[in-house]
Structure 1
Amino acid sequence: MPDPRFRAFADRLRARERAVGYWVALDSPVSTERIARLGYDYVTLDAQHGLLGYAGLLAGLTAIDAAGVSVGLVRVEANDPTYIGKALDAGAGGVIVPLVDDATGAAAAVAAAHYPPSGRRSYGPTRSALRVGPTPRDADATVVVLAMIETPGGLANIEEICATPGLDGVYVGPADLRLAVGGTHPNDPAVDEPFETALRTIRDTAATAGIAAGVHTFTGDQAASRLAEGYTFATVSSDLAHVEQAARTHLEAARR
């Protein structure tokens, strides 16, 4: 039987209800399970820049499901039907697709995530049949597809991307977006103004199109601020960053 958490999350996202998530970069199923028990609406496994191979992805999704609270999403390696299909077959409740530059790319991502006749996903749900589906119609209704807006092309074509049929939302990669608006590094304060303008444009365009808009943030306070500004969902930092931050804080305290 399908897990009702997946359909409930998809319905909430499509209704543009607020959600808070977490980002996992480490291949550490035990810590991922602990994080997934805390109450985050979703936990994203980063297969693009994270330290996760396919075995780690599968173990991470299993750990999230074992916690029984959050829905597991995957940022796939690329906008490619193989990567998207493997993530969904492993049991992801949705995919975040990087480097979407235009409506053609967004449509390709949607097609790769949905079964015929609306898409091109090959039927072989493997583990996901236990949680998401198992019929193509059930899977299509439950799986969410989010296109990352992080390039000059994605920003320039945001209206066409947001109008793509079947796309559930857009997701801002702030580091690359800051580079896209002229920053010399991902934290360049010199481009704060065009960066904030781009964030507003993405948020407002998604709202006009009636789809969700999400953003990656580096602290819970930042996530709260972006949600207050009108973003639909926000992801908080990552396990790798928090391990380092906690270790540094305790080291500094001990040496004082």
Structure 2
Amino acid sequence: MTAAELARKIRARERCLGYWVMLDAPVATERLARLGYDYVAIDGQHGLIGDAGLLSNLIAVDAGGRSVGIVRVASGDPAVIGRALDFGAGGVIVPLVDSPEDAARAVSAARYPAGGRRSYGPMRSMLRIGPTPAEADESVLVLAMIETPGGLAAIEEICAVPGLDGVYVGPSDLCLAVGGRFPNDPEVAGVFEAALERIRTAAANASIAAGIHNATGEQAARRLAEGFTFATVASDLVHLEQAAAAHLKAARGES
């Protein structure tokens, strides 16, 4: 899949599935990118990955040949967004979007001067989407994370921001934002589910995509059935630990 194809699918609200990478392990990332996920998201905010790692892992996704690499950037700073795109990311997930102004700034940072403030210096990205600004703008996704009280309160206005391709739920922080004591706090389960429904509805009304992070593939399937249009599954670090623990348990003969 190309970046342009992924952008078309996301914008058309077609179902897409992604995987999450937190480890700076390009060989592993390359293997993950061969499995058939529509995209592989490299975590530049909470992941254990620096600038050089972002570049190496994006190259690894391309080498896998089946997925598009996108980056959850560390912040909405235009320099941070532009750098991820120059490295070859097919899109950015921007954290901590509290307002339509935050979302508009993120969109502007990802678009070249005719419609934004991205500085022209495509470097590696020209290998994937071409050096023409209009072509690059058409191929690059901008997704705003909804994970804060402010972001939830302004969800309808955020979804209406011109040029925003979608919103992406960070469920751990959103659970805290609606009053949870910790992620997945059962005491706020009802409020949390109502928040998800509000986000899905706002995105659908604005004709933009709605995505969410998930702990398991089963959970991702459920969220898609509920109306989310794209979903990411777990992460390499979590799955590595889970697989190792399961094998250890089996080797010990424990039930």
TM bin, normalised by shorter chain, reads over 0.9
Could you tell me which residue of structure 2 aligns to residue 40 of structure 1? 37
1:27 to 17, 24, 27: 24
Residue number among 187, 201, 206 corresponding to 1:204 in the alignment:
201
Residue 127 of structure 1 and its aligned partner are, at CA, apart by 0.4
The C-alpha deviation readout for 1:88-132, integer Å capped at 9, x for no partner, is 000000000000000000000000000012000000011001112
In the alignment, structure 1 segments of 5+ residues that lack a partner are none
**Residue of structure 2 equivalent to 1:62:** 59
In the alignment, structure 2 segments of 5+ residues that lack a partner are: none
Separation in structure 2 between the aligned mates of residue 134 and residue 230 of structure 1, nearest angstrom: 36
1:101 aligns with 2:102: no
CA distance in 2, matches of 1:81, 1:112: 5
Q: Distance in 1 between matches of 2:2 and 2:58?
A: 14
Per the alignment, residue 129 of structure 1 pairs with 126
Please state how far the C-alpha of 1:12 moved relative to its aligned partner: 0.8
Q: 1:188-199 counterparts in 2 under 5 A? A: 188-199=185-196
Task: Work out which of the residue numbers 133, 142, 147 in structure 1 matches 2:144.
Answer: 147
* Counterpart for residue 166 of structure 1: 163
TM-score w.r.t. length of structure 1: 0.98
Question: Whole-Å Cα distance in 2 between the matches of residues 134 and 35 of structure 1?
Answer: 28
Quote how far apart the aligned CAs of 1:6 are.
1.0
1:83 alignment partner AA: V
Q: TM-score scaled to structure 2, two decimals?
A: 0.98
Query: How many residues were matched structurally?
Result: 253
Identity of aligned residues (%): 68
The one-letter amino acid paired with 2:206 is: A
Deviation of 1:5 (Å):
1.0
Per the alignment, residue 248 of structure 1 pairs with 245
Moved over 2 A (4+): none
Q: Determine whether 1:231 maps to 2:228.
A: yes
Equivalent residue of 2:103, what SS? helix
- d(CA) in 2 for partners of 1:111, 1:213: 20
Once superposed, what is the RMSD of the aligned Cα atoms? Answer: 0.6
* Cross-structure match for 1:114: 111
